[in-house]
Copies of this chain bind each other. A is one copy, B any other.
Amino acid sequence: MKKLLIGFVLLFSQLNLTAQTLKNYIQYVNPLIGTQKMGHTFPGATVPFGAIQLSPDTDEQPYLIGGKYNKDTYKYCAGYQYDDATIVGFSHTHFSGTGHSDLGDFLIMPTVGELQLVPGTKDNPKSGFRSAFSHANEIAEPNYYKVKLDDDNILAEMTTSERVGFHQYTFPKNDNSHIILDLMHGIYNYDDKNVWTFVRVENDHTIVGYRQTNGWARTRTVYFAMEFSKPFTSYGFKDFKPSPYKGFWRKFDQTKNFPEMAGEQIRAFFDFKTAEDEKIKVKFALSPVSTQGAMNNLKTETPDWDFEKVKNAGQNFWNKELGKIAVTADSRDDLVNFYTGMYHAFISPTIYMDAGGDYKGLDQNVHNAKNFTNYTTFSLWDTYRALHPFFNIVQPKRNREMIRSMMAHYDQSVHKMLPVWSHYANENWCMIGYHSVSVITDAVVKGNVEGIDAQKALDASVQTARTKYYDGLEFYMKLGYVPEDKNSSSVSKTLEYAYDDWCIAQMAKKLNRTDVYNEFSKRSENWKNVYDSRIGFMRPKMSDGKFGEKFDALKTEGQGFIEGNSWNYSLYVPHNPEKMIEMMGGKQKFAAHLDELFTIHLPDEFFAETEDITREGIIGNYIHGNQPSHHVAYLYNWTDAPYKTQEKVRMILKNQYHPTPDGLGGNDDCGQMSAWFLFSSLGFYPVAPGSDQYALGSPAIKTAILKLENGKTLAIEAQNQTDKNVYVQKVLVNGKPINRNYITHAEIMDGGKLTFLMSDKPKV
């Protein structure tokens, strides 16, 4: 088949390094990618790193029903599942690609006819306010989502600014039209997740309030301000869990046209008369600190009622951000994969402060971010691997601000720990390790530290790594490993701590702190303590120093690992592959071992209990759909067969990423899965963040222009690259061949040209 060279008209001038603006990258973004099966992305509207993710929710699955875990909940981490036939409504906050969830704040739903204040069920959608819809009537673009709600023949459109969701509903003629504001709705919305909600109807078109929840974030409050473009004629509330004590509020009928309501489980409705095709618009602003803050955000960001203006501003913003890498590729599909990857990489972390800089800290006090943007949604166990390194290249300023946000988290933490998973003024402690130190080290080692107090960041890293009561650390520090009889998933923890400790040592080295360097260099070797040379796998050790007896290297649960089996996790020594390979029997044996990983069959029963690993994300026994193996395909570079890295990377790119709703092999995990795609497509990957080296792989694009914030431009060209020509014969930096398997950060940031000469034959 003859391949079309699809790209941009300015291709040649790009290659000549002229930095011209390209107009329409958003045409290659399909927000529906990953919304089917386990991608856990959302299709709705957001701006880059925006605080609002305004998106349809197709169902609401409680996390617990009567104390029992509900398996179906997992599908709804982002609120939307492509296979569903009904939409419950449109809520304002969504995680992108997570494997556990929360949010779904403030669901809005337009309806006509008899008022329904329950969502109804999937099986019987007419029993509630939810509506049927079809993908034929659905458009998802960056910062724009449109769908026809079939039940009531209402066209729903939405766009956003950083802190405001902007809805536009086109109604049929009806004297009995409604817009529902559901404060009960939520994602992972188990029994009593709402702690409290509070609503005030300030006038005939303005509502403010808040929602406080106890979920993945234990103590979380989101404030809102809402404006309608047209006054409502009447309104009301239903309290679905009235307090046993009602006090003197009993003197009012609070259900109808009474401007104040508070309680655990409330839905509100606003009534309108609508003409045929009449548009009612809703601006919905959020704030981390107050309704006052939300109202100010609303007025600052969306002073008027021009939907198109807000949509265009957000789409231009996306074009600007996506345009930081201009690629050409063989097919439109490749471009869609690439720019949708960029899109998903630029959704999280999310802005977490008012337009004026106020944000809520981990101490639940209000702080002001002086001279930086405060971010939340740090899914660090995922994103330290490739997303933050990617930001160090294409979003260095934002990455610095993210580190300042992490330092603010540290300052406000009663544990004096850097974030594990920073979640709306909460630490949700999800997953393991203290990978903030990797993100910080990567920036420090790469010199991206302007505005960061690096010495203080090192102190914070050290203090975090010495928190005895954190997840087996006391034993780790005493014994050199986490003993499985004291703390589960002990091998995963030991391996990740050892890598994190290596990061701290690298930062200390850069900052001339010899004592810290020595302490943590020593700790970084602790991975050796859980390697069982008799079987060639990492393996749980007990506090008496002996390895546990029962052990299955293929099995995922109960073997001393978390979200991975020993086959995959045993390869987790990113900071010292040489030594690991030596201990595993040398280069040749190790390469064969890796081959086996990619080819042996992993039976369903060995991972079925683990929701983050699904058949789609597995190649042989290599689990790409979850993070611990993301560096593994690059490990052939440390053997005599780096060409196998090249073929495996290209195989994974093809196998795990598709331009379709079911196109992601696993959770996108706040952009980590996409960042793997982006790096790998460009031909290199940060195996050990905290090092200034990127392992070379096999570029899948034709050309790429990276427009760097330092004003320089890096052009990447993959000469003769095709689906078959996956092998790299030669790599040139600014025209000079290099004789190594890696490039350095400086080589990227200095700009110039990186050329890969491709072939269908391995270089041996």
Pick the most buried of A218, A253, A363, A421: most chain B CB atoms within 10 A of its CB. Answer: A218
What are the nearest 8 A-B pairs in CB distance? Answer: A248-B429, A292-B365, A200-B414, A259-B414, A290-B365, A219-B262, A248-B430, A195-B196
- Please pick, from B196, B245, B251, B365, the residue contacting A429 in the complex, using a CB distance under 8 A: B251
Q: Are B469 and A258 in contact (CB under 8 A)?
A: yes
A303 adjacent to chain B (CB < 8 Å): no
In the assembled complex, A415 has its CB within 8 A of some CB on chain B = yes
For residue A193, which residues in chain B have a CB less than 8 angstroms away from its CB? 245
Tell me the chain A residues, 188-228 only, with Cβ under 8 Å from chain B.
190-193, 195-196, 198, 200-202, 208, 210, 212, 214-216, 218-219
Docked-complex contact A214 and B245, CB < 8 angstroms? yes
Residues in B neighbouring A245, C-beta threshold 8 A = 63-64, 190, 193, 214-215
How many angstroms from the CA of A260 to the CA of B421 in the assembled complex?
16
A365 CA to B295 CA in the complex, in Å?
12
Docked-complex contact A218 and B364, CB < 8 angstroms: no
Cα A438 to Cα B150 in complex, Å, equals 57
Residue pair A196, B198 in contact (C-beta under 8 Å): no
* Contact status A198-B219, CB under 8 Å: yes
> How close is A70's CB to chain B, nearest CB, in angstroms?
12
Residues of chain B lying within 8 A (CB to CB) of residue A364: 198, 210, 290-291
A67 within 8 A of B: yes
Closest CB in chain B relative to A414 CB, distance in Å: 4
Q: In the docked arrangement, what's the CA distance between A248 and B415, Å?
A: 15
CB–CB B218/A249 < 8 A: yes
A-B contact pairs, 21 of them (CB 8 A): A64-B245, A190-B244, A190-B245, A191-B244, A192-B243, A195-B196, A198-B219, A198-B364, A201-B414, A216-B247, A218-B243, A247-B429, A248-B428, A248-B429, A251-B429, A251-B471, A253-B469, A258-B469, A291-B364, A291-B365, A292-B365
Q: Can you tell how many copies of this chain the complex includes?
A: 2
Whether the pair B249, A429 counts as a contact (CB closer than 8 A) is yes
A415 touching B214 in the complex, CB below 8 Å, given contacts A363-B200, A429-B248: no
Q: Is the interface on chain A under 10, 10 to 19, 20 to 34, or 35 or more residues? A: 35 or more
- Per the bound structure, the CA–CA distance linking A64 and B243 in Å amounts to 11
Contacts of A63 in B (CB 8 A): 245
Residue A139 at the chain B interface, CB threshold 8 Å: no
From B196, B215, B218, B431, contact of A262 by CB (8 A): B218
Contacting residues, chain B, for A212 (C-beta < 8 A):
196
Verify B202–A414 contact, CB threshold 8 A.
Answer: yes
Interface membership of A12, Cβ < 8 A: no
Q: Mark A626-637, 1 if CB is under 8 A from B, else 0.
A: 000000000000
CB contacts under 8 Å to B, within A244-270, are 244-245, 247-249, 251-253, 257-260, 262-263
Report the bound CA distance from A428 to B252 in whole Å.
12
Q: Check: A542 CB closer than 8 A to any chain B CB.
A: no
Tell me whether B190 and A214 are in contact (CB under 8 A).
Answer: no
Q: Does A313 contact B (CB under 8 A)?
A: no
Q: Are B247 and A428 closer than 8 Å at their CB atoms?
A: yes
Q: Which one of A192, A208, A364 has the greatest number of beta carbons of chain B within 10 Å?
A: A364
Closest to A66 in B: B244
Least CB distance, A293 to chain B, in whole angstroms? 8
Q: Does A366 contact B (CB under 8 A)?
A: yes
Flag if A215 contacts B429 (CB, 8 Å). Answer: no
Q: When each residue 417-448 of chain A gets 1 if its CB lies under 8 Å from chain B and 0 otherwise, what string results?
A: 00001000000111100000000000000000
Assembled-state Cα–Cα distance A421/B216 (Å): 38
Q: Smallest Cβ distance from A289 to chain B, in angstroms?
A: 9
A431 to B248 alpha-carbon distance, docked (Å): 8
B366:A290 contact, CB within 8 angstroms: yes
A291-B363 contact, Cβ under 8 Å, with A190-B245, A247-B216, A259-B415: yes
Cα distance A704–B743 when bound, in Å? 93
Neighbouring B residues of A257 by C-beta, 8 Å: 469
- Asked whether A192 and B244 contact (CB < 8 A) given A200-B414, A290-B366, the answer is yes
Asked whether A218 and B202 contact (CB < 8 A) given A196-B212, A363-B291, A364-B210, the answer is no
Beta-carbon nearest neighbor of A190 in chain B: B245
Given A257-B469, A290-B365, A291-B364, A219 and B196 contact (CB-CB distance below 8 Å):
yes
Residues of B within 8 A of A249 (CB): 218, 429
Kindly list 19 other residue pairs between chains A and B, CB separation below 8 angstroms, not including A200-B414, A248-B429.
Answer: A195-B196, A196-B196, A196-B219, A200-B363, A202-B414, A214-B243, A215-B245, A215-B247, A218-B247, A247-B428, A247-B429, A247-B430, A251-B471, A252-B429, A252-B469, A259-B414, A290-B366, A291-B364, A366-B366
A42 to chain B, nearest CB (A): 21
The interface residues of chain B lying within 8 Å CB-to-CB of A414 are 200-202, 259-260
Q: Give bound CA distance, A65 to B216, whole Å.
A: 32
State the Cβ distance, A291 to closest chain B Cβ, in Å.
Answer: 6
For A210, the chain B residues whose CB sits under 8 A away are 364
A413, closest chain B residue (CB): B260
Query: In angstroms, how far is the closest chain B Cβ from the Cβ of A253?
Result: 8
A64 touching B244 in the complex, CB below 8 Å, given contacts A195-B195, A202-B414, A218-B262: yes
Q: How far is the CA of A471 from the CA of B253 in the complex (A)?
A: 10
**Which residues of chain B are within 8 angstroms of A471 by Cβ–Cβ distance?**
251
Chain B positions within 8 Å of A195 at CB level: 195-196
Contact partners of A64 in chain B: CB under 8 A:
244-245
Interchain CA distance A414-B257 in the complex, whole Å = 12
Give the complex CA separation of A84 and B3 in angstroms. Answer: 91
**Chain B residue at minimum C-beta to C-beta distance from A198:** B219
CA distance A196 to B219 in the complex (A): 9
Q: How far is the CA of A115 from the CA of B421 in the complex (A)?
A: 35
A203 to chain B, nearest CB (A): 9
A258 to B192 Cα, complex, angstroms: 25
- Encode contact with B along A469-502: 1 for CB under 8 Å, 0 otherwise: 1010000000000000000000000000000000
Q: How far is A363 from B365 in the complex, measured between Cα atoms in Å?
A: 18
Contacts of A291 in B (CB 8 A): 363-365
Q: Which of chain A's residues 115-129 have a Cβ closer than 8 Å to chain B?
A: none
Nearest-CB residue, chain B, relative to A471 = B251
Which residue of chain B has the shortest Cβ distance to A218 in the bound complex? B262
Query: How far is B263's CA from A351's CA once the two chains are assembled, in angstroms?
Result: 27
Residues from chain B with Cβ under 8 Å of A429 in the complex: 247-249, 251-252
Report the separation of the CA atoms of residues A317 and B138 in the bound assembly, to the nearest whole angstrom: 71
CA distance A195 to B221 in the complex (A): 13
Measured between C-beta atoms, what is the minimum distance from A390 to chain B in Å? Answer: 26
State in angstroms the CA–CA spacing of A251 and B219 once bound together: 17
Measured between alpha carbons, how far is A243 from B192 in the docked complex, in Å? 9
Q: How far is the CB of A410 from chain B (nearest CB, A)?
A: 14
Q: How far is the CA of A415 from the CA of B201 in the complex (A)?
A: 9
Q: Name the distance in Å between A77's Cβ and chain B's nearest Cβ.
A: 14
A421 cross-chain contacts in B, Cβ below 8 A? 248
